[in-house]
Structure 1
Amino acid sequence: MPLATAPAMTPEEFRLLRELIYAHSGLSFGDETRYLLERRLAPRLQYHGLDDFGAYHRFLRFDPSRRAEIEIAVEVLTTNETYFYREPHQLRAFSEEILPALAQENRGARRLRIWSAGCSTGEEVYTIAILLARSGLFEGWDLDVFGSDIARRVLAVARAGVYGPRAFRTPEADALRDSFRAEGERWHVKEDVRRLVSFGHLNLLDDSMMGLVGAVDVIFCRNVMIYFDVAARKRVVRTFRDKLREGGYLLLGHSESLLNVTADFEILHLRHDLVYRKPLALP
């Protein structure tokens, strides 16, 4: 079935597919996104030899390989493009204000855990690791920057740690190049940075998967919750609250906030940005 002759998605097929995808991943698609789903999922019909989106919905519900296929559907429906040192004001606040505070707070345990939730192809994870190493505050510490994503394909890219020129598209990102080894047009993350990071496949709305994540000091979840409705955001933020230690930090994308989602976090006004923090328990 050539894509040029792929069938149109009916309103009922759109309803069934978006409800199924929402139940699996929490991704919320408004009525205006029917063409987006139709265009991005049409190649999956061709791949499986299906005649229409109703058949694809039945495939996602009943076929033995349905779990792997719905993960692929989620991948093709989400935008994964990212780059190093994205949202520089926030990262400046992280490196100049949050890291020194954490070095002081955790000086007894000498242990630091940072979670990048929805890490895509890994640029954020490696940026954080480079900032940790360059700070000079954590020599000899037990450090881990953990990146998770619902999409296995982007995690494979993250684990490989090899990037093209577009990943260094900003001046701040360009300044990170000495943490990479150049091979032609490709840039490989150096081993001293790779040792600080780990990656895992996680669905933020799967409670059994979330049980695998231990206590963390900082959570980055940037430009992820824009795909969720309020109910899914509340579930995810409750998980973040439970995983953060007291006084831990939550960093969202600049287009995201916890307004109408939760009152469980306090807003911390830093010199370079605003971030959220889990309050300390009252004595």
Structure 2
Amino acid sequence: MTPYVAEFIGTALLVLFGNGVVANVVLAKTKGNNAGWIVITAGWGLAVFIGAFCSAPYSGAHLNPAVTVAMAMAGKLEPAKVAGYLAAQMLGAIVGATFVFFHYHAHLRVTEDKDAKLACFCTAPNIRSISQSFFCEVVGTFCLILPIFLMTDVKFQVPIGAEPKDIVVGLGSLGLVPVAMLVFAIGLSLGGTTGYAINPARDLGPRIAHALLPVPGKRDSDWGYAWVPVVGPLLGAVLAAAVHTMLIR
């Protein structure tokens, strides 16, 4: 499997399970209706684990343009691969959102709340403040990217007196568990303001799907806000990569 196919499949699974749990909670007459924020954040944490578990051996499981940009800045990804990664992530996010649409179509049809229908695809702030939302997306993504670097940087993982091989050997896929827990923690602690996109593809791809698909009784796709969960996470990623570079010098 090529890295680009892996990123496509991993991101599609990420969005299918992530937006799927949102749909299960917010749409009418589902088994999980009104299950609450903890269910959504737990579902997103597991969605990250599933998508990353499937793609990690082939692409490194970025599944997020912010991660890809940060990895390229840190010299952990060849610059020539960045465009392919981003394209695969965007296409995967659109496909994942499309599967959510078909899976929950009957519930989209009986749900009257147009904002709830949009939430099954993309994020929106609970208090409409562009500057505040932008800040929250920057901080949330910074708190995603920097810990990812620290978790995977052997210099920070090796205890005093231990050999690097003692840490590296056996990490394998178990290294994905901390990342899934990190996303869960970000959702619980920092996600209540904007819905914590922290991933441009996860937000923009499904937003495009919402605009193109015949969602019953849908509202507009809120394009006036759409740049915030794209630019904010990218800036957060750049800042995290810069801080990481300073720490390892």
Bigger strand share = 1
TM-score (norm 2): 0.24
TM-score (norm 1): 0.22
Structure with the greater alpha carbon radius of gyration: 1
Bigger helix share = 2
Q: Which has the higher contact order (CA 8 A, sep 6+)?
A: 2
